[in-house]
A and B are shown apart, each in its own frame.
Chain A
Amino acid sequence: MNSAGKEVSSDQNRRGNLKIGKLFSGDSRLLWTVLALVIILLVDRLISANFFDVRLVNDRLVGSLINILDNSAPYALLAVGMTLVIATKGIDLSVGAVMAICAAVAVVMIRNYEAGATEFYYQPGFVMLITIIIGAICGLWNGILVAFLDLQPIIATLILMVAGRGVAQMITGGQSPTFTNETLAFIGRGVVFGVPFPIYLALAALILVMLLVRRTALGLLIESVGVNDRASYYAGIQARMIKLFVYMLSGVCAAIAGMIVAGEVKSADPHTAGLFTELDAILAVVIGGTALSGGRFYLGLSVMGVLIIQSLLVGLYVSSLHPTTNLVVKAIVVLAVLLLQSPEFRRFITGPFRRTA
């Protein structure tokens, strides 16, 4: 068979996967994830009649949908980095703490600039660059522990998760410093063509990383290392360098997310900045179908997972439910989404009907 013929046949396979009849048979992750998002949005709409309304106020779009996207931006950044880490059979618990460190670095430096420091590296542009480099260094630390010292990823990144907030506190001197510089604030609260700037950042990160991993061999090598790092090493793959890279990328993503959070509130609170975000990022990756056991990964679906979580949360805010119920409702809905995606569960539910049919 020639290769052209092969492509046709595998294209047919791919199209076949989307047929309604195959919905219950397994590999239709994209469809079920989108479906989950649509259902949650529709429920949101039932709860709040104007949920889908988007208006232009002072040149900025406002509405629940915009809020969902805006809130999702830092999580989407984290989820992009986290997806690649998890694909290598790792996990990065430190991203929340890295956000706090990077927010602290950015804010403390920009305060020096505001206080009249003239050194070039206090210029807002350099502050952002340095913050990103700090994020990369945090990732390098994690990567060295995991790839070269063979620590378990969960332990290795737990170290920075715990220590990172301490580092952030040391950087700010235990305070929550505020700033007024509009350039740095723009990252978190800027508006371009009516759309909040963080949304562009998250989208750009998603597209860039997608291009990076799918247009080069990196994605394949990451998946290979995640499935079987020993066999990958035997095949000549630099498994350690790949692990180092994904943790560094995760650190960079966390740094940008940290600046978004700092920009939003024009301050850096080392205690709360990015707190527990690592958990939502991991959850989003899992909802997106990337298994914690490593291997195949789905960047777009991870971001979809973020949107699912945020649609749910925004829906809860606008609902008349008491805020104390939020976390429990979130947990129940997430469980429902995960069950919906599970082929085993779908078979279990649909089994009796199919037998009679």
Chain B
Amino acid sequence: MSTNGQEKTPLLEAQGLTKIFPSTVALSNVDFTLHAGDVHALVGENGAGKSTLIKLITGVYPKDGGTILLEGKEIEPRSPRHAQELGISTVYQEVNLIPTMSVAENIFLGRQPMRYGMIDTRATNRQAKQLLKDFGVDIDVTRNLSSFSVAIQQIIAIVRGVDLSAKVLILDEPTSSLDRQEVDMLFSVIRSLKERGIGIILITHFLDQVYEISDRITVLRNGQKVGEHLVTELPRVQLITEMLGKELTQTLDEKGTEASASRAAGKAYLRVQGYAREGMVEPFDLEIREGEIVGLAGLLGSGRTEVAHLIFGIDQHDQGEAYVRGEQTRITSPRKAIQHGFGLCPEDRKVEGIIGDLSVRENIILALQAKMGWFNYLSRQKQNALADDMIKALSIATPNAEKPVKELSGGNQQKVILARWLISNPDFLILDEPTRGIDVGAHAEIIQIIKRLAKEGKAMLIISSELAEVVDYSDRVVIMRDRKKLRELESDDINENTIMQAIAAD
């Protein structure tokens, strides 16, 4: 366990691992040590380098620098298969097994016990059953894999991986689609693996679970190792500080001067009560007033985007009710949400936002046109006028409105999506990571636009990982963790410290 002496040879040791992609350094000189019988959690926000590190260890990518030692001997994994032969198995969130084959066949695929030159089904089943029983899982191994829950499938994948003589087991987001009971089941399997001396690398966004199951934590940020700690010696606040890369300071951050007081007076625009969806977000209440900006803060995977999707009707809530201007409303699709005056700039601009091959003009008028219907076609002059107005108002950098939107930079694409909503004059805008992946100039402009819109009386819900930004524009900040709304911070309490402490609170 965590008492493993430093003098013992570590099970897996990576020294100075580096990976350079044409545009970025994905991993820079990272050391990582895993002891036998330890659960070592790897944490960090998007783009921190967690998956790059794993891919180097499992031979998905060739490394550009550093060495990997397994039980003191240097290894050069060439492929995931080769890594597995060396004793490093990986179980991904999406189980890589064959759903239409039986559990036993899946466990022994490619190495079934043979008898008289044929597969010995009975021996396969018997051995599979015993193997699972050892982990406290007693199921009918002749049934198809697909007839079991994701948790069981994951355990089966783990058992297969471990039985292929694994010394190191990598679990990549194993719990992200499991409920509490299933997590417990998985954790008991992990504990029995620990007892067998298997070293486990755990990647997860759920910090509660990190504290529950792991012995050590390594924090990565922007491709660099920020810290390695025994879990017992790392307070939550420090963990979050390291993940987000902010120094906890004692002084209060300066709050945007034009903020709150004057705006908070607006009438309630949207109120949701006990909104929830099983396995996605736990029941939450939320109220947003006209002209108010509510920030939604939390780590990746905390349920921020899920809240936006429930409110906008992309995913259906199965509990709770929503009131728009006091009137109870059922919002079951984006179309309905839009008819009530909502707009959403989604997190994944390319997949969920822009229509890449269509022109800037067409992208801008799209939501308005969809709202107006098929036969109420905006005239070309009207379209040109609207597009040109928006290009000017938001200073979208494009030679003309006819350029395909996919050829614009990220910041300008974001502005086009904002423009799409603005011309349909919404009352309520949800912005999911509006400034992610855009350059500094456009970043500042978008913040300006956000503030201007609130001044015009629009209700806004903004999700962002950039705490400084959230502090700057929010009148109120809602803190999410592990798919739950933890608490709300009001005007004077809003600064980076309080937000981080709230995220980390026990």
Contact = CB atoms under 8 A, between A and B. Distances in A.
Interface stretch (B90-98, B131-139, B362-370): B362-370
Contacts, number: 94
Interface string B77-97: 000000000000000000000
Given A7-B384, A228-B355, A234 B373 contact: no
Interface string A199-241: 0000000000000000111101101100110111111111000
A143 B366 CA distance: 23
A217 B378 contact: yes
A230 B352 contact: yes
Contacts of A215: 377
Contact of A217 (B346, B352, B376, B400): B376
Interface in B317-372: 334-335, 338-339, 344, 346, 351-358, 362, 366-367, 369-372
B358 A6 contact: no
B402 interface: yes
Contacts of B374: 216-218, 221
A235 B357 contact: no
A127 B227 CA distance: 79
A296 interface: yes
B370 A221 contact: yes
Nearest to A237: B370
Nearest to A229: B355
Contact of A236 (B352, B371, B378, B401): B371
A272 interface: no
A220 B368 CA distance: 12
B375 interface: yes
Contacts of A9: 400
A227 B356 contact: yes
Contacts of B75: none
Interface in B171-223: none
B314 interface: yes
B149 interface: no
Contact of B384 (A6, A231, A234): A6
Nearest to B346: A234
A238 B375 contact: no
Q: Which of B312, B338, B339, B369 has the most CB of A within 10 A?
A: B369
Nearest to A232: B355
A234 to B, nearest CB: 5
Contacts of B355: 223-224, 227-228, 231-232
Interface string B285-316: 00000000000000000000000000010100
A216 B358 contact: no
A295 B359 CA distance: 12
B458 interface: no
Q: Which of A2, A227, A233 has the most CB of B within 10 A?
A: A227
Interface residues of B, number: 37
A216 B375 contact: yes
B354 to A, nearest CB: 6
B35 interface: no
A62 B16 CA distance: 82
Given A217-B378, A231-B351, A234-B344, A6 B401 contact: yes
A224 B369 CA distance: 12
A232 B352 CA distance: 8
Interface string A2-14: 1100110110010
Contacts of A235: 334, 338, 366-367, 370, 420
A6 B356 contact: no
B3 interface: no
A217 B377 contact: yes
B354 A231 contact: yes
A224 B366 contact: yes
A145 B373 CA distance: 24
B433 interface: no
B381 interface: yes
A216 B354 CA distance: 22
A234 B362 contact: no
B243 to A, nearest CB: 29
Given A9-B400, A234-B346, A3 B352 contact: no
Interface residues of A, number: 29
Interface in A1-44: 1-3, 6-7, 9-10, 13
A6 B361 CA distance: 12
Q: Which of A9, A218, A237 has the most CB of B within 10 A?
A: A237
A224 B358 contact: yes
A234 B432 CA distance: 13
Contacts of A295: 357-358
B71 interface: no
B376 A3 contact: no
B230 interface: no
B376 A228 contact: no
Contacts of A220: 358, 362, 366, 369
A218 B312 CA distance: 24
A236 B314 contact: no
A313 B70 CA distance: 68
Contacts of B377: 215-217
B445 interface: no
A220 B364 CA distance: 12
B357 A227 contact: yes
B469 interface: no
A232 B369 CA distance: 11
A148 B346 CA distance: 24
Contact of B388 (A6, A224, A232, A238): A6
Contacts of B119: none
B20 interface: no
B468 interface: no
Contacts of B351: 228, 230-231
B248 interface: no
A2 to B, nearest CB: 8
Nearest to A9: B400
Interface string A58-69: 000000000000
Given A221-B369, A221-B374, A238-B335, A3 B353 contact: no
A227 B358 contact: yes
A235 B346 CA distance: 10
Q: Which of A1, A7, A215, A235 has the most CB of B within 10 A?
A: A235
A3 B339 CA distance: 29
Contacts of A234: 312, 314, 334, 344, 346, 352-353
B358 A236 contact: no
20 contacts: A1-B388, A3-B384, A3-B388, A6-B384, A13-B402, A216-B375, A217-B373, A221-B374, A224-B366, A228-B351, A231-B351, A231-B354, A231-B355, A236-B335, A236-B338, A236-B370, A237-B335, A238-B335, A238-B370, A296-B357
Interface of B: 312, 314, 334-335, 338-339, 344, 346, 351-358, 362, 366-367, 369-378, 381, 384-385, 388, 400-402, 420
Given A223-B357, A235-B366, 10 more contacts: A2-B388, A217-B373, A217-B376, A221-B370, A228-B354, A230-B352, A234-B314, A235-B420, A236-B334, A236-B370
Instruction: Return the 7 tightest CB-CB contacts between A and B, nearest first.
Output: A236-B338, A236-B370, A237-B370, A217-B377, A235-B367, A3-B384, A295-B357
